[in-house]
């Protein structure tokens, strides 16, 4: 297992970002409850500024090269959970499958509950940004985003879309659900970038 919990060393050497409190559990936080889905109809789509738009069903997605990492999780409302073990497919793996256009600069994640969140492409092309389908060796529980969610240990957790079913590559900046509602677009926990 790769251990990347030291991502905080990039940002000032404090594992617990300023203004955060460590919790033992992983609370559930969703804008509107857990959406339903079925394995038969679920698909993950990659589109926009790419060479090859692609679609994966659930078995195809789980057959992609995967990684398991121990990560910390920081919610903008003030709690952090340490040492979550996520298994999934890295963002760079998906980007390489699709092939990025030269003018791709930004990314929008789309989810089954209508949630969206955005990041600059450069902030996504890191091995720690995972499309995760297991938590602590078990299938990712649905309240936490199963069958598939994004995790972004270098950002507040609203950058990690639960129930993710699509990633869109953009040639211009656009804003996601919370980013349009006053939360920070950059969301660096060590700089306390909570509000935009
Ligand atoms: N699709 C979707 N993803 C989402 C959210 C949401 O409402 N819908 N909430 C975000 C927020 S604000 C946080 S803190 C984390 C919470 O993840 P958890 O419920 O697994 O703790 O999911 C993020 N991803
Ligand atoms: Mo959050």
pLDDT digits (tens, 9 = 90+) for 45-70: 999 999 999 999 999 999 999 999 99
pLDDT digits (tens, 9 = 90+) for 78-91: 999 999 999 999 99
- Mean pLDDT computed over every residue of the chain: 96
Which whole number is the average pLDDT over 29-40?
A: 95
Instruction: Indicate whether 137 belongs to any domain.
Output: yes
Task: Provide the domain limits for residue 133.
Answer: 2-24+42-190
Residues 6+ apart with CB under 8 A from 53: 45, 46, 47, 98
Looking at the 3D structure of the chain, how many domains does it have? 1
Any idea what the CATH number is for the domain that residue 15 is in?
3.90.420.10
Instruction: Indicate whether 7 belongs to any domain.
Output: yes
- Compute the distance from residue 102 Cα to the ligand 1 centre, in Å: 31
Instruction: Indicate whether 73 belongs to any domain.
Output: yes
For residue 3, is pLDDT > 70?
no
For residue 195, is pLDDT > 70?
yes
pLDDT digits (tens, 9 = 90+) for 10-26: 998 899 999 999 998 88
pLDDT of residue 163: 98
Instruction: Indicate whether 120 belongs to any domain.
Output: yes
Instruction: Indicate whether 186 belongs to any domain.
Output: yes
Instruction: Indicate whether 29 belongs to any domain.
Output: no
Instruction: Indicate whether 171 belongs to any domain.
Output: yes
- Compute the distance from residue 29 Cα to the ligand 2 centre, in Å: 6
What long-range pairs does 177-184 form, CB within 8 A, spacing at least 24? 177/31, 177/114, 177/115, 177/116, 177/117, 178/117, 179/117, 179/118, 183/76, 183/156, 183/158, 184/76, 184/156
Do 146 and 128 form a contact (C-beta atoms < 8 A)? no
- Compute the distance from residue 158 Cα to the ligand 1 centre, in Å: 5
Which of 21, 22, 27, 29 has most ligand 1 atoms within 8 Å of CB, for mutation? Answer: 29
Instruction: Indicate whether 82 belongs to any domain.
Output: yes
């Amino acid at each position: 297992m790769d251990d990347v919990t030291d991502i905080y060393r990039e940002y000032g050497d404090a594992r617990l970002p300023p203004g955060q409190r460590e919790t033992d559990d992983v609370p559930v936080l969703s804008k509107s409850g857990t959406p339903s889905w079925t394995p038969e109809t679920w698909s993950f789509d990659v589109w926009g500024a790419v060479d090859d738009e692609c679609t994966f069903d659930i078995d195809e997605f789980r057959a992609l090269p995967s990684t398991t990492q121990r990560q910390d999780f920081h919610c903008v409302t003030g709690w952090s959970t340490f040492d979550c073990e996520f298994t999934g497919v890295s963002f760079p793996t998906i980007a390489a499958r699709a092939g990025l256009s030269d003018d791709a600069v930004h990314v929008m994640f789309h989810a089954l509950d209508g949630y969206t969140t955005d990041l600059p492409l450069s902030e996504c092309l890191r091995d720690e940004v995972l499309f995760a389908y297991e938590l602590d060796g078990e299938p990712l529980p649905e309240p936490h985003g199963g069958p598939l969610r994004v995790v972004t240990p270098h950002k507040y957790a609203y950058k990690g879309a639960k129930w993710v079913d699509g990633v869109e590559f953009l040639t211009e900046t656009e804003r996601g659900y919370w980013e349009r509602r006053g939360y920070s677009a950059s969301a660096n926990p060590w700089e306390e970038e909570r509000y935009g």
